[in-house]
Amino acid sequence: MVIIYLAYYSPEQYELLLKYADDRKKIEDKWEAWLLNYMKAKNDLSKEFTLEEFRVDVEEIQQYSNRRN
């Protein structure tokens, strides 16, 4: 069994992602547009894989990145 972990962003976390992202131009401007793409990918992947969703805490990741340089 292959498990794929999908990162999920709440609307609030998505706003933080937009603030911190280095590749901002590659990210959807609106959470709703991101969510549509997320749901499509989730639907497509679920046909072949077991999926596990995890909620992203952008500030926690940013702090981790800062500590690791």
pLDDT digits (tens, 9 = 90+) for 16-68: 999 999 899 999 999 999 999 999 999 999 999 999 999 999 999 999 988 99
Instruction: Report how many domains make up the chain.
Output: 1
**What residue numbers bound the domain in which 24 lies?**
3-68
pLDDT bucket at 2, cuts 50 / 70 / 90: very high
Q: In this structure, what are the phi and psi dihedrals at residue 22, rounded to the nearest 5 degrees?
A: -75, -30
Distance between CA atoms of 34 and 11, rounded to whole angstroms?
Answer: 10
pLDDT bucket at 69, cuts 50 / 70 / 90: confident
Q: What is the pLDDT of residue 1?
A: 86
Number of residues that this document lists for the chain: 69
